[in-house]
Each structure stands twice: as C-alpha cells, then as structure tokens.
Amino acid sequence: MPATADNPDAMFQTAADHAYHVIREKILSGEFKPGQKLSRRGMAAETKVSVIPVIEALHRLENDGLVESQPRWGSRVLRLDDRQVRDFTCLREAVECQAVRMLAGRLDAVQENTLRTLAAEIDQKYMSAREDPKLWEVHYQFHLNLVVYTGCDSLVAALKRCHLFNLVQKATQRAGSKTKRLPPDWHLRIVDALVAGDPRRAHDIMEGHVRDSLDPQDQKAAR
C-alpha cells in the first residue's frame, strides 16, 4: 500500500512502515495494553495491510523492545512487571554511569552549554508547582544528549530502549504520583560534576540520580 491521496496516514514509504507506526502509536497511547496478544491477521485488519508487512512491523517493534514474541505462539505487547522495572533501571544505570565516566572533563564548550541549558530548564520546571507536560520530554533530551556525546551508538540504543519502556509505563499506569522532593540542582549538579572532570565523582552523582528518579513503589522492587 503505497502512499495514496485517500490515505494520508500512509505517507510512509512502505506498507510495513505504515503498520509499524500504527501499531507503535496504539501501544504508546495505551490502546494496546501490556501483555495483550497481537495476532498477525488482527493487526493486518487493523492497519489495512497484508500479513507480511505486519510481520515486518512486529519484528521491528520487537527489536525496539515494545513487543515480545515466542515462536509458534505469536507476539504480545511488552509486559510490565517489577522484574522489568528493575531490569531497565540496571541497564539505565549501567549506560548513564558509563557515559558520565567517559565524558568527565571531556565536554566541549557547546556540549556543556547545551547540557547546562537543558538541566536548568528541567530543574526549574520541576520546582514549579504545576505539572509541565514538556518536562519529561526535556528530561529525556538531557539524558539522551549526554549519552549521544559519548559517540557510542550501542549506549544510545540501550538508553532509547529504556526510554521506550518508560513511555509504555507512563501510558498505562497511574499518572501523577510523583510527590517526591528532589534537590533544586537535581540536574545541574551532573553538569557541574562533568565539567569538574573527576570520573568517579561524576559516576557517583549519576548513580544516585538514576536511583532517585525511581518512583517509591518501584524503588522497593529494585531492591
């Protein structure tokens, strides 16, 4: 199904792209709930394409970490349990701590400036009373940039997986349970530690940061 005038959603190149984006959007919007079975024919009907592009789309989603499959059984939306929360927290800690160790004392001027601007915006938004929907977007931008600056694609890919998991979590679970108080320089201190240049100190600060950013009920699950 190439792009046609009567199907504006199909502006993507291939039918597989179309199915991929449709299914992904329905997962991230919460319409497809975690653990739900995604049958190939069902998805084909849902996305108005044939089975084969659906298979391709499901594979890409599995590669993204949004769906999990078993041979001879099918695919389902990624399940969210305590084990997964702990799992992705470990991975995020591994990736981000590695990133700050690599970057300590190596940021160039523009990188430092970018991070500092983002950190200031996050900390300010976080301290303000009302919820800013852009907060988590900027927050992700900050952490993503941090890892991108390492130049290590594997680390970036791993962090993106963690982020997708968080998106699924936010899409399905309780909204706005965050009453935890965090220091006003929650993110700026990370930038300061990076500029200071001591990898161990930067590591310690980031490690604490990642563990602090867990919701209290998840913190217990993470041990």
Partner DNA sequence: ATTTACTTGCAGTTATAACAGATAGAATCC
Partner DNA sequence: GGATTCTATCTGTTATAACTGCAAGTAAAT
Residue list 60-89, contact with DNA (CB under 7 A): 71-75
Number of residues that bind DNA (CB under 7 A): 24
Q: At what angle do helices 199-212 and 188-196 cross, to 10 degrees?
A: 160
Spatial distance between the Cα atoms of 22 and 188, rounded to a whole number of angstroms: 38
Which C-beta is closer to a second copy: that of 21 or that of 86?
A: 86
CB of 153 to DNA, least distance (A): 22
Which C-beta is closer to DNA: that of 38 or that of 85?
A: 38
Among residues 7, 9, 37, 127, the one that binds DNA under rule CB under 7 A: 37
Which C-beta is closer to DNA: that of 56 or that of 204?
A: 56
Q: Does position 35 bind DNA by CB under 7 A?
A: no
Contact segment (CB under 7 A) with DNA among 50-58, 92-100, 128-136, 169-177 equals 50-58
Among residues 46, 56, 93, 207, the one that binds DNA under rule CB under 7 A: 56
User: What are the DSSP E strand ranges found in the chain?
Assistant: 37-38, 67-70, 74-77
Q: Which element (helix H / strand E) includes 97? A: helix 82-103
Spatial distance between the Cα atoms of 187 and 129, rounded to a whole number of angstroms: 18
CB of 12 to DNA, least distance (A): 8
168 neighbors 26 (Cβ within 8 angstroms): no
**Looking at this protein, which amino acid is placed at residue 71?**
P
Q: Does position 66 bind a second copy by CB under 8 A?
A: no
Q: Does position 181 bind a second copy by CB under 8 A?
A: no
Q: Does position 50 bind DNA by CB under 7 A?
A: yes
Strand partners, 67: 77
Q: At what angle do helices 109-127 and 135-148 cross, to 10 degrees?
A: 160
Q: Which partner in a second copy, DNA, none is near 94 (CB below 5 to 8 A by kind)?
A: a second copy
CB of 206 to a second copy, least distance (A): 12
Tell how far CA 156 is from the center of its chain.
11
Q: With CA atoms as reference, report the closest residue to 95 among 171, 149, 28.
A: 149
Residues that bind DNA (CB under 7 A): 1-2, 14-17, 37-42, 49-53, 55-56, 71-75
